[in-house]
């Protein structure tokens, strides 16, 4: 088994545990490279069929290429796609800096979707290498009744034994690709021939490394116009993956505050 | 996985695979762990370019002499800043091995970290300060290595420069630690005098330790044996789920050890059912060919429909895991509330979970105060050995035979509260009930008897397949019911479809099948019903068990129809199949039916009609006090 085989087998194990141990789960599909890999892995885990819905919490501010991708592959992959809207900006905590506040709409949209469907598990495509607070995550991460994350009181998790009993009304976040890196995602996307949104590839000397909303995501300088070139670029770069995400840079703790409140 | 230092490639230049060995370095604080690690990385050429210069500059700026431990400190800073995330493993290479050094830092949470990290270690380096000698922490770490089942321990006596490289001092410490470790069942693989700071004994034997003739630290690491690769162990595929998204019925799970491929004959434990792997399924390409090894998440289909459930283990027929309801485990405890004898828990062994009771605490130790042994409870962050009784049978292996299936976690209130290693398995032993208080019925037995006109009883029909047991049982059921009684038919096959669906046809499973039939029947009899059991029940011993359980309520009817006639009848076609060799473990062909010697009644259905036989049974039931002749007497009691 090579490195990618190991990552894949581990993710499949996590998917199957989530499906077996929780009653009602959904996969959060943000349309980005990570969640596309995640859907691919889910289809591997369940032999071609993803037996739970793909939930797109839609801010309405994604790039047109992303909506086209969603509408096409939602059908092509035979997904049970649920698109759920987010509340307007003035419904969100006004003490947050602008970009974080904009991102927090997604947290609220997520809470509304949770209430609407009663999911007890949400599968999310976060990775440890993305950002320091994500590095501290568990694979099965319990959330409070308000969707909040208690960093200081996380249950022990070892030997692939996960805690899967959320309290009544609360839910778990399940992270099947927590152990992957950005480079792993690209190498696997290439190996498996998983479709991607073209915004990731360089155009006029710029490309997106991470895709969020139009108003809070910026492209980075890059000449990488193929996945192979992206992989070479990643080996050399010292620029963090989320450098194009405005909300990470507003205040030191903005992202942590968001995550504690239930953001991905 | 992020690497701090030179990523190890599994292949040597000539293409052969280098063995990979995981080690953990433990020892008392300040005995020189980080210095040794820094020195090892340097001596094995594992530091990235410029790192050494950077450290020298850092030391100079602080006005301090150069210290190898700065290397790990620098890594620690990187970690704190979140630049390098997964630093639990530092890699370096010796001549013939790729070494993965498992970093188990953090004093306060030492146990949790050490367990999670070092539970995967193949070997350990235990470090002792030559000046201070063996300390509490040294003994504590020795104990933890024993707890984790780490058997290869290289002991290094560090800071020999502080004792003038005294051979006597080295011998004294060596003797003391050897005695301690061997008391725990751990034999040191090497005892090495070193000065990690100066390099004596690390990669080279210097003149200063000229009297020492053993291996260097690097040589000692070089001779550590890697754990047996999981693929070389017996097949263990714990079932995560059964999927039926289309016409395939796929058994899904991860191969924890061994390997499998289509065509293999397998056994599903704990039930012991046998099948053959028809296909190995995958997506987007279906039906992968070739052998699939440990670590793979797979899906298989079988050549027959079997009742399989999450937590069952797929194994090869020649080496199956043990089935048990009792096991002994060495555990570490992380929960606030101490674990005490009699506690109810949930135990997970892979995907299998079972309610469990702590039958005994054999040993409980605070790894910080090893002297204070007790056996009442295991406190938070303490370790111990316990006996557990399980309410469901599970299939497992002792940790020494299979590290993947031989470990378990314990859940309390839905949260992981501890974990440990399976030390031994009491195969086939029954769970011991603890604090079970049966609830009594609201009704008295004479109230029921008055209504039904009979006492409760277990009427047990035994005999060869097709001897007429079920036919007679059903006729009896109809008659008793017509007369206002409360008969309940317990047919062996019917119960196998539900209550006993976890059981196969091994001798042990057949015994358990009979035991459960007897328990259910006896419960009904105690509540005034007549439980009519129709089961081949070929083993005399098993029927004796049933009689013991039902006690005075037991009435045995031997349906003694001659074997030739049974085979001639063959209503279910079983004899035909068995003669053709297509039905394993079929009673009737061969001599495995042990006829009763003292049945309450013997009936040969080839010499009398069903109605005559039913009359005889009724008479026997009246004669032995089950059925009442006079209804009136009892009605007066109401």
Distance CA B469, CA B481 (A): 18
Q: Tokens 């230092």 appear where?
A: B5
| Distance of alpha carbon B469 from alpha carbon B605, whole angstroms | 9
- For residue B252, give the nearest of A1, A16, A163 by CB distance: A16
Is B112 in Cβ contact with A20 (below 8 Å)?
A: no
- Of the pLDDT bands very low, low, confident and very high (cuts 50, 70, 90), residue B75 is low
Residues in CB range of B474: below 8 A, 6 or more apart: B489
- Which of A10, A129, A161 lies at the smallest CB-CB distance from B409? A161
- Compute chain A's Rg from CA coordinates: 17
Q: Is B633 helix (H, G, I), strand (E, B) or coil?
A: helix
**Residue that is written with structure tokens 């239930």 in the block:** A262
What's the whole-model pTM score?
0.68
pLDDT for B162 equals: 94
List CB contacts (< 8 A) between B231 and chain A.
none
Interface of B with A in 308-327 (CB under 8 A): 310
Q: Is the pLDDT of residue B107 over 60?
A: no
Q: What is the mean pLDDT of residues B54-77?
A: 70
The per-residue pLDDT for B427 is 60
Q: How far apart are the first and last CA of chain B?
A: 78
Q: What is the pLDDT of residue B114?
A: 61
Does residue B388 carry a pLDDT above 60? yes
Q: Quick one: pLDDT band at residue A144, thresholds 50, 70, 90?
A: confident
> Which of the two residues, B373 and B370, has the higher pLDDT score?
B373
Contact residues for B257 (Cβ-Cβ < 8 A; gap 6+)? B230, B231, B233, B234, B235, B236, B294, B402, B404, B405
C-alpha to C-alpha distance for B26 and B137, rounded to whole angstroms: 9
Interatomic CA distance for residues A30 and A38, integer angstroms: 11
Please report, for residues B82, B530, B554, B619, the alpha-carbon distance to residue B484 in angstroms, rounded to integers and kept in the order given: 79, 12, 21, 17
For residues B478 and B472, what is the distance between their CA atoms, to the nearest angstrom?
Answer: 10
Tens digits of residue pLDDT in B7-27: 333 333 343 467 778 888 887
Comparing alpha-carbon positions, the chain B residue that sits nearest to A136 is B85
Mean pLDDT of chain B: 82
CA atoms within 13 A on the CB side of B4: 28
Neighbours of B565 (CB within 10 A): 16
List of long-range contacts for B48-51, beta carbons under 8 Å, 24+ apart: B48/B5, B48/B6
**Pairing between strand A206-207 and A172-174?**
unpaired
CA dist., res. B141 & res. B118, Å (int): 11
Nearest in space to B525 (alpha carbons), one of B500, B545, B555, B496: B555
CB contact under 8 A, B243 and A46: yes
Strand runs labelled E in B34-167: 89-93, 98-102, 123-129, 152-158
More confident site: B300 or A158: B300
Please tell me the distance in Å from B594's CA to the nearest CA on chain A: 44
What is the full DSSP assignment across B492-509? HHHHHTTTTTT--SSHHH
Report how far residue B513's alpha carbon sits from residue B500's, in angstroms, rounded to the nearest whole number. 6
Q: Give the distance, in angstroms, between the CA of residue B255 and the centroid of all CA atoms in the same chain.
A: 15
B84 interfacial to chain A (CB closer than 8 Å): no
């Amino acid at each position: 088994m090579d490195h990618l085989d190991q990552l894949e087998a581990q993710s499949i194990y996590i998917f199957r545990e989530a499906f077996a141990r929780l009653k009602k789960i959904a996969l959060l599909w943000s349309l980005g490279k990570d969640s596309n890999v995640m859907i691919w892995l889910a289809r591997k885990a369940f032999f071609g069929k993803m037996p739970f819905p793909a939930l797109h919490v839609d801010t309405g501010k994604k790039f047109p290429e992303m909506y086209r991708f969603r509408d096409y592959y939602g059908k092509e992959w035979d997904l049970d796609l649920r698109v759920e809207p987010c509340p307007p900006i003035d419904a969100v905590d006004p003490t947050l800096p602008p970009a974080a506040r904009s991102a927090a709409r997604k947290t609220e949209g997520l809470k509304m979707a949770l209430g609407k469907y009663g999911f007890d598990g949400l599968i999310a495509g976060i990775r440890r290498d993305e950002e320091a607070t994500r590095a501290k995550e568990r694979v099965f991460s319990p959330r409070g009744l308000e969707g909040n994350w208690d960093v200081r009181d996380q249950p022990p998790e070892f030997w692939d034994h996960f805690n899967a009993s959320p309290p009544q009304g609360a839910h778990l976040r399940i992270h099947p690709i927590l152990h992957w890196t950005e480079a792993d995602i690209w190498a696997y996307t290439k190996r498996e021939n998983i479709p991607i949104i073209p915004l990731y590839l360089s155009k006029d000397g710029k490309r997106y490394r991470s895709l969020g909303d139009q108003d809070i995501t910026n492209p980075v300088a890059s000449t990488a116009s193929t996945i192979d070139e992206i992989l070479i670029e990643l080996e050399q770069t010292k620029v963090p993956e989320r450098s194009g995400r405005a909300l990470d840079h507003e205040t030191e703790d903005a992202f942590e505050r968001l995550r504690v409140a239930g953001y991905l | 996985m992020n690497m701090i230092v030179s990523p190890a490639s599994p292949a040597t230049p000539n293409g052969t695979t280098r063995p990979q060995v995981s080690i953990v370095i433990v020892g008392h604080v300040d005995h020189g762990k980080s210095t040794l690690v820094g020195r090892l990385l340097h001596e094995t050429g594992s530091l990235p370019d410029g790192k050494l210069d950077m450290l020298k500059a850092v030391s100079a700026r602080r006005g301090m002499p150069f210290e190898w431990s700065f290397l790990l400190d620098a890594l620690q800073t990187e970690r704190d800043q979140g630049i390098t995330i997964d630093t639990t493993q530092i890699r370096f290479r010796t001549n013939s091995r790729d070494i993965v050094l498992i970093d188990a830092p953090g004093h306060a949470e030492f146990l949790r970290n050490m367990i999670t990290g070092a539970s995967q270690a193949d070997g350990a380096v235990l470090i002792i300060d030559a000046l201070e000698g063996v300390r509490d922490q040294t003994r504590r770490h020795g104990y933890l290595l024993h707890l984790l089942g780490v058997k290869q321990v290289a002991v290094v006596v560090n800071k020999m420069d502080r004792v003038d490289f005294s051979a006597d001092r080295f011998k004294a410490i060596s003797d003391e630690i050897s005695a301690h470790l061997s008391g725990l069942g751990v034999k040191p693989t090497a005892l090495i005098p070193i000065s990690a700071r100066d390099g004596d004994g690390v990669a080279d034997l210097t003149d200063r330790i000229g009297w020492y003739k053993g291996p260097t630290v690097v040589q000692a690491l070089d001779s550590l044996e890697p754990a047996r690769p999981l693929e070389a162990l017996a097949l263990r595929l714990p079932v995560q789920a059964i999927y039926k998204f289309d016409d395939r019925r796929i058994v899904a799970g991860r191969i924890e050890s061994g390997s499998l491929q289509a065509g293999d004959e397998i056994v599903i434990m704990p039930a012991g059912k046998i099948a053959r792997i028809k296909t190995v399924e995958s997506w987007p390409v279906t039906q992968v060919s070739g052998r699939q090894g440990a670590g793979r998440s797979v899906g298989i289909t079988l050549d027959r429909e079997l009742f399989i459930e999450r937590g069952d283990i797929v194994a090869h027929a020649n080496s199956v895991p043990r089935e048990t309801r009792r096991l002994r485990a060495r555990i570490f405890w992380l929960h606030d509330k101490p674990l005490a004898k009699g506690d109810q828990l949930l135990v997970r062994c892979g995907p299998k979970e079972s309610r469990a009771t702590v039958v005994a605490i054999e040993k409980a130790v605070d790894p910080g105060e090893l002297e204070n042994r007790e056996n009442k409870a295991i406190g938070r962050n303490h370790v111990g050995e316990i006996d557990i009784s399980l309410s469901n049978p599970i299939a497992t292996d002792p940790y020494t035979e299979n590290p993947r299936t031989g470990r378990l976690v314990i859940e309390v209130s839905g949260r992981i509260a501890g974990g440990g290693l399976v030390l031994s398995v009491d195969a086939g032993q029954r769970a011991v009930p603890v604090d079970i208080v049966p609830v009594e019925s609201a009704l008295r037995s004479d109230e029921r008897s008055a209504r039904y006109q009979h006492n409760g009883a277990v009427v047990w029909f035994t005999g060869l397949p097709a001897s007429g047991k079920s036919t007679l049982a059903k006729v009896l059921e109809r008659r008793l019911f017509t007369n206002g009684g409360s008969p309940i038919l317990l047919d062996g096959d019917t119960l196998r479809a539900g209550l006993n669906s976890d059981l196969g046809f091994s001798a042990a499973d057949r015994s358990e099948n009979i035991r459960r039939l007897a328990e259910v029947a006896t419960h009904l009899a105690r509540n005034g019903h007549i439980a009519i059991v129709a089961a081949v029940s070929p083993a005399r011993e098993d029927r004796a068990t049933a009689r013991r359980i039902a006690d005075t309520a037991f009435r045995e009817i031997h349906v003694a129809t001659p074997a030739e006639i049974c085979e001639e009848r063959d209503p279910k076609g079983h004899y035909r199949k068995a003669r053709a060799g297509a039905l394993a473990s079929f009673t009737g062909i061969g001599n495995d039916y042990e006829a009763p010697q003292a049945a309450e009644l013997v009936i040969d259905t080839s010499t009398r009609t069903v109605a005559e036989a039913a009359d005889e049974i009724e008479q026997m039931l009246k004669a032995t006090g089950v059925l009442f002749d006079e209804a009136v007497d009892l009605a007066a009691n109401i």
